[in-house]
Amino acid sequence: MTTAAKAVGPGGTGGTVHDARTGQRFPLQLPITISEQQSTHKHEGTTANVSAAGVYLRADRPLKVGSKITFDIMLPGQVLATRRDVKIRCTGRVVRAESSRRVPRTKQATARGKPRGMACVIDQYRFVRNNTE
């Protein structure tokens, strides 16, 4: 699904701006392991939807927009009709993150520890044959 919006530039001239989302999104909730490229710390999350170009995920630890990340997505073997689960190692970056500012102050204490949503672009990916990596 592609959407378009009218953009108005300097002098009132306009053009069409297309939504950056490309490809079909699949509503898959899969386990994901995330690490920032500047850190050795890994944390867990869950995908909410996946496309060939990106992923929307939820994790307990928010990442800043622009952060370069590496993440592993585990695809279940029974879904792929394979004997084993398939791990995909992706590198990319966070392009959008839900802000904790949206949570009213009175609810911030209960919002801590709840998963935050982040949209990430996949720049590169590879299949990991050996799950010891």
CA 79 to chain centre: 21
Tell me the CATH number at 58.
Answer: 2.40.10.220
Alpha-carbon separation of residue 107 from 54, 99, 114 (angstroms): 31, 14, 11
Residue 52's pLDDT is 87
The reported pLDDT for the residue numbered 24 is: 87
What is the distance between the alpha carbons of residues 119 and 94, in angstroms, rounded to a whole number? Answer: 6
Longest distance between any two alpha carbons in the chain, whole Å? 61
| Residue ranges of the chain with per-residue pLDDT less than 70 | 1-22, 99-114, 131-133
52-75 pLDDT per residue, tens: 899 999 998 888 899 999 999 988
The domain total for the chain is 1
Q: What are phi and psi of 35, to 5 degrees?
A: -145, 140
Residue 113 lies in a domain: yes
Q: Helix, strand, or coil here: 35?
A: strand
Closest C-alpha among 54, 56, 59 to residue 35: 59
Residue 14 lies in a domain: no
Residue 5, in any domain of the structure: no
Could you tell me if residue 74 is inside a domain? yes
Backbone angles phi, psi at 123, to 5 degrees: -85, -40
Q: Look at residue 17 and tell me if it is in a domain.
A: no
Q: Is residue 16 part of a domain?
A: no
Q: What is the pLDDT of residue 62?
A: 82
pLDDT reported for residue 37: 83
Which residue segment(s) compose the domain that 48 sits in?
22-128
